[in-house]
């Protein structure tokens, strides 16, 4: 039995411990926001936060997440009440087909929450492991820059 915390809730998984974290999230926990792109750790679509840090959930056997905190895109907002970062992607046109978006959001959220800067170069470096097949990078970077700035204006809530 593998026990872990997913989006703040204690969860357990009784299947094979080598099952990939992405498959457990999607198939066993019903959290289908996390997408699989390449399955090789190249594209970043499957990015979730493991103990607060972005990781490729396609490269992690669920046993390696035992006792740890996992955060997925479902932890950010809901369709009727988006998080400020999600709203920024919408406002700036930072999503096209949407496959890369959950991974982009989670990588960006770890940065914003840790107090990362609004420097465009630093944000491009941060997102270098998240590929967008629609190549909408400029809008994605703009969305993150704007979200950082908005958070600074607001103070620190979300």
> Applying CB under 8 A, which residues contact other proteins?
15-20, 39-42, 44, 47, 50, 53-56, 58-61, 63-64, 107, 125-126, 128-130
Looking at the Cβ atoms of 13 and 89, the one nearer to other proteins is 13
Q: What is the dihedral angle through the alpha carbons of 35, 37, 42, 44, rounded to the nearest 10 degrees?
A: -20
Residue 54, both tokens = 């972005």
Put the strands of the sheet holding 53-56 in their side by side order.
9-13, 2-6, 69-71, 47-50, 53-56
Q: Which is nearer to other proteins, 65 or 145 (CB)?
A: 65
Residue with smaller CB distance to other proteins, 79 or 121:
121
Q: How far is the CB of 49 from other proteins (least distance, A)?
A: 9
Query: How near is the Cβ of 20 to other proteins at its closest, in Å?
Result: 7
Whole-number minimum distance, CB 106 to other proteins, in Å?
A: 9
Q: Which tokens is 51 given?
A: 């103990």
Q: What residues contact 110, with CB distance under 8 A and at least 6 apart?
A: 49, 52, 53, 54
CA pair distance 85, 82, nearest whole angstrom: 8
Residue with Cβ nearer other proteins (61 or 154): 61
CB of 14 to other proteins, least distance (A): 13
């Amino acid at each position: 039995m593998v026990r872990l915390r997913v989006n703040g809730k204690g969860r357990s998984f009784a299947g094979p411990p080598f099952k990939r974290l992405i498959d457990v999230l999607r198939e066993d926990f019903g959290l289908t926001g996390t997408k699989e792109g390449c399955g090789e750790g190249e594209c970043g679509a499957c990015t979730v936060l493991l103990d607060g840090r972005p990781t490729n959930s396609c490269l992690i056997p669920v046993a390696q997440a035992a006792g740890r905190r996992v955060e997925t895109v479902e932890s950010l907002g809901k369709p009727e009440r988006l998080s400020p970062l999600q709203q920024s992607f919408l406002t700036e046109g930072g999503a096209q087909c949407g496959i890369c978006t959950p991974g982009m959001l989670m990588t960006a959220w770890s940065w914003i929450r840790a107090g990362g800067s609004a420097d465009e170069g630093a944000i491009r470096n941060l997102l270098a492991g998240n590929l967008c097949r629609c190549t909408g990078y400029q809008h994605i970077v703009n969305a993150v820059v704007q979200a950082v700035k908005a958070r600074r204006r607001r103070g620190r809530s979300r």
